[in-house]
């Protein structure tokens, strides 16, 4: 495993960063979409697709780049740093990993090709605890909670029970009986919904083995960890720059030891998280036993609570201005808190991680 980016990955990072700074700044793009249920600006989404970012994980035979989770993590980190509100994680990570892990090439061709060229926005509906049933005639009935980006999506990938067992189904969001209701959360850049399926037509794509579904969830946790890493790094940088210029008692506050300690704490947390995220991204595609990949995802998620403290510490450095709506610090804190609570808080993951490492014993 190489912890350093290669030239191609650096170019991908720099291109994505430059595009987001020019076309999707926080002041002129992110804030305008906070109350938009889709979180999508068509021009920006088209630009991300033209850069090839939506098709990074789509195999080349379907028009994608056929790259790995490491490249996806590079883009996710930049999107997190820019607080990008769109459905990129759902469409460019969760959906293609679901299709490539669970389906054969033929059944997934149309959706994967649409993801690669940016014409299809897809999301997954199996992250919550609810389930749906497949009834006769190929229709689905049930409710799903905590579905990301459902209002923006053209296609919803969902698990349902039928006569053949658990299957992966594709649902067009303009189908009869499909409806969505927004779910309020702390982070307005993350759009989540409750989906109602009432005899909604669906296409069965493949069977869904529990191990494959678990691997997809690990992939999504790892990619979201990269997004959170970007958010933590960005708000830390803002706080450090502020400490260099803000004066109290005729001295810049960065000269005060208490402020220096806060900045060092943030830096230490971000860099520790970076090594864990890079390892997890590599492990997601490496030929490792499934337990090793899962442990990497568990470590990233178990550390989520610590990473969220970066936003809180940054606001301490900013002082009173950090609490205002006009400042971006609270948006970063909310992004980090949403990562911390994704699919449950860190405590359960810490417990599972400890149990697995104890059972495995020393090596």
Strands (E), the chain: 122-124, 132-135, 139-148, 155-162, 165-172, 178-183, 192-201, 203-207, 247-248, 251-252
> Helix, strand, or coil here: 207?
strand
Domains 7-120 and 123-208 belong to one CATH topology: no
> Any idea which fold 123-208 has?
Butyryl-CoA Dehydrogenase, subunit A; domain 2 (2.40.110)
pTM summary value: 0.95
How far apart CA 308 and CA 224 sit, in angstroms, is: 13
Spatial CA neighbour of 91 closest among 120, 61, 67: 120
Domain 7-120 = CATH 1.10.540.10 = yes
CATH superfamily to which 211-360 belongs? Butyryl-CoA Dehydrogenase, subunit A, domain 3 (1.20.140.10)
* pLDDT 10s digits, 195-240: 999 999 999 999 999 999 999 999 999 999 999 999 999 999 999 9
Q: Please report, in tens digits, the pLDDT of each residue of the chain (363 residues total).
A: 677 889 999 999 999 999 999 999 999 999 999 999 999 999 999 999 999 999 999 999 999 999 999 999 999 999 999 999 999 999 999 999 999 999 876 779 999 999 999 999 999 999 877 779 998 888 999 999 999 999 999 999 999 988 888 999 999 999 999 999 999 899 999 999 999 999 999 999 999 999 999 999 999 999 999 999 999 999 999 999 999 999 888 899 998 999 999 999 999 999 999 999 999 999 999 888 888 899 999 999 999 989 999 999 999 999 989 889 999 999 999 999 999 999 999 999 999 999 988 887 665
- Number of Cα atoms under 13 Å in the Cβ half of residue 175: 23
Domain boundaries, the chain: 7-120, 123-208, 211-360
């Amino acid at each position: 495993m190489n912890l350093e980016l290669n030239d191609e990955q650096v170019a991908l990072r720099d291109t994505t960063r430059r595009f987001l700074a020019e076309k999707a700044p926080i002041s002129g793009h992110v804030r305008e979409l906070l109350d938009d249920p889709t979180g999508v600006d068509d021009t920006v989404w088209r630009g991300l697709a033209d850069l090839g970012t939506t098709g990074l994980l789509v195999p080349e035979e379907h028009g994608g780049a056929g790259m790995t989770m490491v490249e996806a993590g590079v883009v996710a980190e930049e999107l997190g740093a820019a607080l990008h509100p769109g459905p990129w994680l759902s469409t460019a990570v969760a959906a293609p990993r679901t299709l490539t892990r669970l389906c054969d090439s033929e059944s997934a061709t149309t959706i994967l090709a649409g993801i690669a060229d940016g014409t299809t926005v897809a999301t997954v509906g199996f992250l919550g605890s609810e389930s749906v049933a497949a009834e006769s005639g190929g229709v689905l009935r049930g409710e799903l909670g905590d579905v990301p980006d459902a209002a923006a999506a053209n296609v919803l990938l969902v698990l349902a029970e039928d006569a053949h067992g658990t299957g992966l189904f594709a649902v067009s969001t303009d189908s009869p009986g499909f409806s969505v209701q927004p779910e309020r959360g702390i982070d307005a850049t993350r759009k989540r919904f409750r989906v109602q399926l009432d005899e909604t037509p669906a296409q069965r794509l493949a069977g869904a083995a529990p191990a494959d579904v678990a691997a997809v969830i690990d992939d999504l946790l790892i990619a979201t960890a990269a997004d959170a890493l970007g958010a933590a790094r960005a708000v830390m940088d803002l706080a450090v720059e502020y400490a260099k210029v803000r004066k109290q008692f005729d001295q810049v506050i960065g000269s005060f030891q208490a402020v220096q300690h806060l900045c060092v704490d943030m830096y230490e947390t971000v860099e520790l998280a970076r090594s864990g995220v890079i390892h997890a991204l590599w492990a997601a595609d490496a030929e490792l036993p499934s337990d090793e990949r899962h442990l990497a995802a568990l470590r990233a998620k178990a550390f989520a609570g610590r990473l969220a403290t970066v936003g809180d510490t940054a606001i301490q450095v900013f002082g009173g201005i950090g609490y205002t709506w006009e400042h971006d610090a609270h948006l970063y804190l909310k992004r980090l808190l949403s990562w911390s609570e994704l699919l449950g808080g860190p405590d359960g993951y810490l417990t599972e991680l400890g149990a697995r490492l104890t059972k495995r014993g020393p090596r």
